[in-house]
A and B are shown apart, each in its own frame.
Chain A
Amino acid sequence: MYVELKNLNKRFGGFQASDNVSFGVGKGKLIGLLGPSGSGKTTILRMIAGLETPDSGDIFIGGTRMNDLPPAKRGIGLVFQNYALFRYMTVFDNIAFGLTVRKKDKKYIRDRVSELIKFIGLEGLEKRRPHQLSGGQKQRVAFARALAPNPHLLLLDEPFAAIDAKVRKELRSWLRDTINKVGITSVFVTHDQEEAVEVADEIVITNNGRVEQVGTPIEIYKDPKTPFAAGFIGKSVTISDYGKLRGFEKIEGFESALLRPESVHIMKPQKELYPHASQRGIVEDIFFKGDTLELRVNLDGQKLIAYQSLDGAAFSVGDEISVLIYRLYLLGENTVRLAENRSIKSEGNFFI
């Protein structure tokens, strides 16, 4: 592990911002710290950067303990949420700043900055001031400025928060590709799960100052370890009385269950598969989501969300439909268990 955090604790007055935080970041990996606001993700980033001192615990970067080193000596590059570009300096001077401070010679600075400007695709804008740049261009400059002194670790605080939705998607893939090209170990903070899933190699989910789960986006999605991780990634509805659903039974210690829309299959009653595993519901609302339809279904008083492809069977509000639920995530105190629809299995046997 290139970056190692060991049992970090940090309190702000009565507020536990970091509660025994430990995880590692592999060399060259792009890690997303994901959690709701106040979950402690930013505090972790600040402690790695040296902007905040942990009350206890250790921070290692490249095998060296960093706790007592000032931020400037940690070999990190930081991209601020609002970029913090120097507004009275040109693009060139912004990117060159870290090198000027380190008293590199003029020719080296010129070459390095030109190289970076070419790299981020902003040739010709060297003389511009930050206020003459678009949000996306500002982010690229902030990125180049952080990279200029060749840091070993890149930290990004909510890198897409200040950019409007349209450009955001495009920048996400740009940032991902660019970081891969540079090959620099990177950690970014976000509260947007979609962003984390799309950009990060690995996600660290934080909640109430604790690390809930660390893993690749698919791992966390398929195999959430805690109720919070299960609920935070992906869209879902909570079902309190899941024992009533056909094909599932109540298990002691698991008070409620999480149902994801893609685990719900809806059919016209007359075309029903697995009749023993399905039950009847009423379509209450239909939303067009651009590429699919999202249906709100009432199943004996329990509200569900289901997806339907546009070229599938057409439903309208008030229709009676057949609902088949494949699987549920059962939520315990601190554990999550996967439950499959038992009746499909038995019926499946029957068919074969």
Chain B
Amino acid sequence: MGSKAIKIALILLSASFVTIMLILPLVTVLTYSMRQGWRIFVSYITDYYTIKALNLTLLAAAVTLAVNTVFGIFSAWSITKFRFRGKQALTTLIDIPFSISPIIAGLVFILIFGRIGWAYPLMEAWNVKIVFAVPGIVLATVFVTFPFVSRELIPLMQSQGSEEEEAAALMGASGFLIFRKITFPHIKWGLLYGVILCAARALGEFGAVSVVSGHLRGKTNTLPLHVEVLFNEFKLTASFAVASILVVIAIIVLILRNIVEYRLKREDG
């Protein structure tokens, strides 16, 4: 067999795998959501509970992005610009949420703030509801996506080295000035990249949120949870219509991701 034939065979095999495994599910969502026509589709995605769920999803994602961006920048800065004992251990600890089932991520917050949790009496006294309420959803989302930004930044800042920062510090520049003028211009695309990945995961998080939400429609339902509820009620078209909102978001994320990655590679080269 010639190398050209092998090449074509391998490309075709790859393309079929991607088509069947990845593209067909997407197409399924879009066709099912449209199968009762455009007007029904619009009515599903503008439904009161859908809009409520969308708002909650966006809120949770926004808080998550803010928290994880702050954490990502501070943790990457301390890990890459300084030497200290236990650095390896710290990086491993930061990665924990990646290796833990989202169900467990939700569970831990039930175990803290739920009826049997050690923080329950305290929350009761302050009259704050966390589990089966919005704060719990936000917490679970933050937990699951916690390492995203720092994971993007650490290798980037490591490859940059810290000579430029050292040079600036030797001239008496403050930490904030060094970050703003020297580190930030270098990591801005990587940061954006991490933020996009984090956003994608935060918008779509299901397992962890499902544990802490309590599925109160109009109150603690996020979009992915709303998809589940509708699906389990055999409202397939409605479920897929709501899912199609998330598919569109996912496609936008993918496109953004590729643009940013392209910029990132160009900056590097």
Residues of chain A having any CB pair with chain B under 8 Å = 49, 51, 71-73, 76, 78, 80, 82, 84-89, 97-98, 101-102, 145, 149
Contacts and interface: CB of A to CB of B under 8 A. Distances in A.
A71 B167 contact: no
Interface string B158-176: 0000011011111111100
Contact of B171 (A51, A80, A88, A98): A98
Contacts of A85: 164
B129 interface: no
A72 B163 contact: no
Contacts of A97: 168, 171, 173, 181
Nearest to A142: B167
A84 B163 contact: yes
B172 A89 contact: no
B151 interface: no
A72 B164 contact: no
| 8 cross-chain pairs, A with B, having the tightest CB-CB distances, nearest first | A88-B185, A72-B172, A84-B163, A98-B171, A84-B167, A101-B173, A71-B170, A84-B164
Nearest to A149: B171
Contacts of B171: 72, 97-98, 101-102, 149
A185 B250 CA distance: 61
14 contacts: A49-B170, A72-B169, A76-B170, A84-B163, A85-B164, A86-B182, A87-B164, A88-B186, A97-B168, A98-B171, A101-B172, A101-B173, A101-B174, A102-B172
A78 B170 CA distance: 8
Contacts of B186: 87-88
Contacts of B164: 84-87
Given A80-B163, A84-B163, A84-B164, A89 B170 contact: no
Grouping DSSP codes into helix (H, G, I), strand (E, B) and loop, the B interface class, with mixed when no group exceeds half, is: helix
A86 B172 CA distance: 15
Given A80-B163, A101-B177, A86 B168 contact: yes
Contacts of A89: 181
Contacts of A84: 163-164, 166-167
B232 to A, nearest CB: 52
Contacts of A87: 164, 186
A35 to B, nearest CB: 22
Contacts of B181: 86, 88-89, 97
Interface in B74-114: none
Interface of B: 163-164, 166-174, 177, 181-182, 185-186
A343 B108 CA distance: 93
A89 B168 CA distance: 12
Nearest to B160: A87
Most B CB within 10 A of own CB, among A72, A98, A101: A101
Contacts of A145: 167
A44 to B, nearest CB: 17
A263 B63 CA distance: 79
Nearest to A78: B170
A82 B173 contact: no
Contacts of A71: 169-170
Contacts of A78: 167, 170
Contacts of B173: 97, 101
B252 to A, nearest CB: 29
Contacts of B170: 49, 51, 71-72, 76, 78
A84 B169 CA distance: 12
A102 B170 CA distance: 12
A51 B166 CA distance: 9
Nearest to B162: A84
A98 B166 contact: no
B42 to A, nearest CB: 47
A82 B162 CA distance: 12
Contacts of A80: 163, 166-167
Contacts of A86: 164, 167-168, 181-182
Most A CB contacts (10 A, CB to CB) among B163, B171, B172, B181 go to B171
Given A78-B167, A97-B173, 18 more contacts: A49-B170, A71-B170, A73-B172, A80-B163, A80-B166, A80-B167, A84-B166, A86-B164, A86-B167, A88-B181, A88-B186, A97-B168, A97-B181, A101-B171, A101-B174, A101-B177, A145-B167, A149-B171
B106 to A, nearest CB: 42
Contacts of A98: 171-172
A101 B169 CA distance: 10
A101 to B, nearest CB: 5
A102 B186 CA distance: 24
Nearest to A89: B181
A80 B186 CA distance: 19
A52 B207 CA distance: 50
Contacts of A49: 170
B187 to A, nearest CB: 11
A41 to B, nearest CB: 18
Nearest to B172: A72
Nearest to B182: A86
A84 B163 CA distance: 5
A303 B24 CA distance: 78
A85 B174 CA distance: 17
A89 B181 CA distance: 8
